[in-house]
Amino acid sequence: MKKECVTMLLAGGVGTRLGLLTKNLAKPAVPFGGRYRIIDFALSNCLNSHMHTVGVLTQYSPLELHKHIGVGKPWDLDRMEDGLTILSPFTEKDGGSWYLGTADAIAKNMNYIEGYDPEYLIVISGDHIYHMDYDKLLQHHKEKEADVTISVVEVPWKETSRFGILNTTENLRIYEFEEKPKNAKSNLASMGIYIFNWKVLKNYLVEDAKLSSSNHDFGQDILPAMIGDDRLLYAYRFDGYWKDVGTIESYWEAHMDLLKEDLSLSLNNNDWRTYSHDSNFAPQLIEDTAVIQHSLINNGCVVAGSLDHSILFENVEVSEGSVVKQSILHPGVCIGKNVLLDRVIVQENVTIPDGTKIVASREEEPIIVSSHNLKAVHS
Amino acid sequence: MDTMMGLINLEHEHDFLNELTYFRCGAAVPFAGRFRMIDFTLSNMAKSNINEVAIFTRSKYRSLMDHLGSGADWDLDRRHGGLFILPPDWNDPTDISKGDLSHFHNNRDYFERGKSDYVLISGSQFISNTVYHKLFQHHLETGADVTLLTTTYEELHPEHNACIKVKVDEDGSVLSLTNDAKNPHVFSGVYVLRKSLLLELVDECIANYSNHFFLDGIKSNLDRLNIQSYHYDGYSSIVNSVDSYYRHNMALLDRKSYNSLFSNEENVLTKVGNQAPTKYSGLSKVSKSLIATGCVIDGQVDNSVLFRGVNVSEGAVVKNSIIMQRCNIEAGAHLENVIMDKDVTITKGQVLKGAKEQPFVIAKRRKI
């Protein structure tokens, strides 16, 4: 059946720079914000923007991710006609291969897309934290009669070398795409969110697949080719909160952002909820010895110690006499007595013994604690 | 394999919570920060391989139906079996049945169509977190006609007066069912029997113009039925009055009781609310409290239960109180010994105090 718009969510990323966090887990499945996984933000945006036809492209360590997504129920994507489809690499009669790049992942699933005969294809990625109405982006794309619309966000000039930068004319028509430029001419960074006219993109994908020299990547190959052909590419300015949580530092920072009073992204916004699974833990129990400031706490936690600027996922225990500062405690973490944690990320189900002290100074990257490196990080 | 079907019979439960049950039945009253009373029984059933559960409800069931939906949150949205909410729209002109027998009579299909040979029946006022496998096993092994889930309370409170008390011999056979105020051995309201026996007893009761299935069909037949007791040793409470409601919510602020009711092995299932984790600001001062998700706390909360999405503003104080979903406590307000229903706003600087023995109950959606 025909659908005007199909959404493809890229969720196969390895997330190498997240270190231990992505050891056994695809980046989109990394826990975030006290009760979510990173991909929940993109999936909830789909639900809130009425995008009902969503293909999720997975590849790296997909078990947890697949279990989490399931049939898409928490995001109302378990639907009769379309809904959510997990698209993993597959083999055919004449063989098959892994997804070689972002464009290749889309090209390999052309059958899925063609099944809906769409006018537009939205490509988003499952590793950013933001609330965005994709429908507004689509309307903008239609008004401009563009071939491609790329959502962009202004980043600080000193950070431009970390992003894909778009150089545009005054009316936001894109004439150049620079991947991580040393001397940027613009501070408009691509958010990795694209809308294509499907018929246009399809031809480029077919041509790109034939090139053995290509990386089969949107940023490196497809978009430059389109710009070269004078296609109409427009930037769409997004001014909400958007965070790429690709490094341990930025993952930690994004959590500290959630504790700010004036953050434009609110998890308590009832008109733009972020949805996820719920394991039905009982409400949190705060004991009389607890001291809690600037923190987020989920169900099932029992807190008897002190918390400051910390995020507790479900079923975490912080015992009496312990002090947890600027730290992120993943589900099922148990903190013994008289523990001190500062700038620490403790992974799922790790028990920190009584008296442990783990502190990362302000100059260091936050420390990730797993059950294997527990002894090594104790200071 | 022998299996059970479930029945939650709300017919004889009174609306015990004054303002809180003006518009909803007792089973739908919020409990323990994120649950409703009925969740405990329903969750126990769902985890005991009971694939079909019927609910007999006479009135004020809108809120209950809204909460239960399709039963998906209890894994009861099934092709085979599932959840059957059975309100009383009956049109049988030959019907002479009374009391809960009307439910049995008019919903006979539910039992006849069900594939299970046994039925587990419960109310909603016995709060526990367990599975009924052992109870069922006991029932099958002893070859009893009826097996009652019973428990013993060290201290008897007014809520136990409404319960049936049990006397048993050393084998667990029930000798008497009475209202003996001094007997600490209490019938929980949960029992199992064979479906065919259930339908037989229902027919007898209707023929005798009886109006209470348990009292007239089972208790009155104590002499000819083999009734066994299965003793439950886990944490439980009976909630059937404002006093017991307040006390058993507050009891969960004690770590030991909290851990006993919410053991790590089994979580109590409830309707999922999708709220963010609760946010504590730099001004928050919270101690000894049970707090659900979605709250934003800038004030002081002490010895209280907060349900989802409650706001406690700067300088506000909440003490010894139960505050339900989405209440808004504005700056400087002071609440003590209060039970506050959903969506209430307490405006700036207001002071409301109840007595510990008689908490002040505030109805839904009020602005004070």
Domain extent listing, chain B: 4-262, 279-362
Percent of chain B exceeding pLDDT 70 equals 100
Q: Which pLDDT value is given to residue A13?
A: 81
Cα R_g (chain A), whole angstroms: 22
Quick one: pLDDT at residue B9?
96
Question: Residue B129 in contact with residue B262, Cβ under 8 Å?
Answer: yes
In sequence order, what are the residues at sequence separation of 6 or more whose Cβ sits closer than 8 angstroms to the Cβ of residue A85?
A: A54, A55, A56, A112
Last residue of a domain, one of A267, A293, A325: A267
Q: Residue A367 falls within a domain, yes or no?
A: yes
CA–CA min distance A37, chain B (Å): 13
Domain boundary among A267, A297, A315: A267
Q: What's the token pair of residue A18? A: 């997240």
Is residue A331 within 8 Å of residue A316, measured between CB atoms?
A: yes
Do A182 and A48 belong together in one domain? yes
A215's tokens = 């990386």
Residue A273 lies in a domain: no
Chain A nearest-CA residue for B266: A281
Count CB-CB contacts under 10 A for residue A86: 18
CA Rg, chain B, in Å? 21
* Residue A345 in domain: yes
Q: Consult the annotation and say whether A287 binds a ligand.
A: no
Task: Pick B90 or A331 by higher pLDDT.
Answer: A331
Q: How many domains does chain A have?
A: 2
For residues A22-27, give the mean pLDDT: 90
Residues A36 and A115 in one domain: yes
CATH code of residue A34:
3.90.550.10
pLDDT given for residue A264 in this prediction:
86
Residue A92 is labelled as binding a ligand = no
Rounded Cα gap, residues B95 and B92, in angstroms: 5
Contact B279 A293 (CB under 8 A): no
CATH fit for domain B4-262, picks 3.30.750.24, 3.90.550.10, 3.40.50.300, 3.40.50.10190: 3.90.550.10
Q: Are residues A244 and A307 in the same domain?
A: no
Statement: residue B61 has pLDDT above 80: yes
Q: Are residues A31 and A155 in the same domain?
A: yes
Please state, in angstroms and rounded to a whole number, the distance separating the CA atoms of residues B44 and B56: 17
pLDDT of amino acid A8: 97
User: Which chain B residue shows the shortest CA-CA distance from A295?
Assistant: B280
With a pLDDT cut of 70, the percent of chain A lying above it is 100
Contact B41, B28 (CB under 8 A): no
Mean pLDDT to the nearest integer, B119-130: 97
> Cβ B286–A286 below 8 Å, yes or no?
yes
Looking at the domain that runs over B279-362, which CATH code has it been given? 2.160.10.10
Block residue for tokens 């008109």: A271
Regarding whether A249 and A201 lie in a shared domain, the answer is yes
Tell me: do A17 and A108 sit in the same domain: yes
Task: For residue A96, tell me if it sits in a domain.
Answer: yes
Domain-embedded: residue A323:
yes
- Let me know whether A201 and A346 are in one domain: no
Burial of A267-287, coded b for 16+ CB within 10 Å and e otherwise, reads bbeeebbbbbbbebbbbbbbb
pLDDT exceeds 80 at position B265: no
Q: Which of A279, A294, A300 sits opposite B281 (nearest CB)?
A: A294
Burial A28-39 (b: 16+ CB within 10 A, else e): bbbbbbbbbbbb
Can you give the CATH number for the domain in which A353 is found? 2.160.10.10
Q: Are residues A135 and A114 in the same domain?
A: yes
Q: Shortest CA distance to B244 belongs to which of B80, B87, B29?
A: B29
The answer on A338 and A261 residing in a single domain is no
Of B267, B280, B289, the CB nearest to A295: B280
- Among A88-97, B30-39, B128-137, B271-280, the minimum mean pLDDT is found in A88-97
Residue A336 and residue A241 in one domain: no
What one-letter code names the amino acid at B166?
Answer: V
Residue A11: count of CB within 10 angstroms of its CB: 30
Cβ of B280 within 8 Å of Cβ of A297? The answer is yes
Distance CA A281, CA A331 (A): 11
Identify whether residues A29 and A153 lie together within a single domain.
yes
Spatial distance between the Cα atoms of B263 and A269, rounded to a whole number of angstroms: 32
Residues A91 and A217 in one domain: yes
- Predicted confidence band of residue B266 (pLDDT cuts 50, 70, 90): confident
What is the structure's pLDDT at A213?
92
Within 10 A of A341 (CB to CB), how many other CB atoms are there?
28
- A129 in a structural domain: yes
pLDDT tens, residue by residue, A182-233: 999 999 999 999 999 999 999 999 999 999 999 999 988 999 999 999 999 9
Residue A272 counted as domain residue = no
The answer to whether the CB atoms of A278 and B277 lie below 8 A apart is no
Residue A90: which region, alpha, beta or left (left: phi > 0; alpha: psi -120 to 50)?
Answer: beta
What's B214's DSSP letter? I
Measure in Å the smallest separation between the Cα of B58 and chain A Cα atoms.
29
Contact yes or no for B143/B58 (Cβ under 8 A)? no
Alpha-carbon distance of A276 to A68, in angstroms, equals 9
Q: Is B354 on the interface with A (CB under 8 A)?
A: no
Is the pLDDT at B7 greater than 80? The verdict is: yes
pTM over 0.90: yes
| Among candidate residues A267, A298, A322, the one where a domain is terminated | A267
Option in A287, A295, A307 nearest B255 (CB) = A287
Q: How many whole angstroms separate alpha carbon B308 and alpha carbon A237?
A: 35
Q: What is the mean pLDDT of residues B190-201?
A: 97
Q: Supply the DSSP string of B285-338, one letter for each residue.
A: EEESEEE-TT-EE-SEEES-EE-TT-EE-TT-EEES-EE-TT-EE-TT-EEESE
ipTM of the prediction greater than 0.90, yes or no: yes
The answer to whether A288 faces chain B, any CB pair under 8 Å, is yes
Per-residue confidence (pLDDT) for residue A330, from 0 to 100: 97
Instruction: Kindly give the residue spans of alpha helices, DSSP state H, lying in B143-177.
Output: none
Q: Are B12 and B212 in contact (CB under 8 A)?
A: yes
Residue with tokens 């034939």, as numbered in its chain: A210
Are A286 and A317 contacting, i.e. CB atoms less than 8 angstroms apart? no
Q: Which domain holds residue A307?
A: 279-378
A180 belongs to an annotated ligand binding site: yes
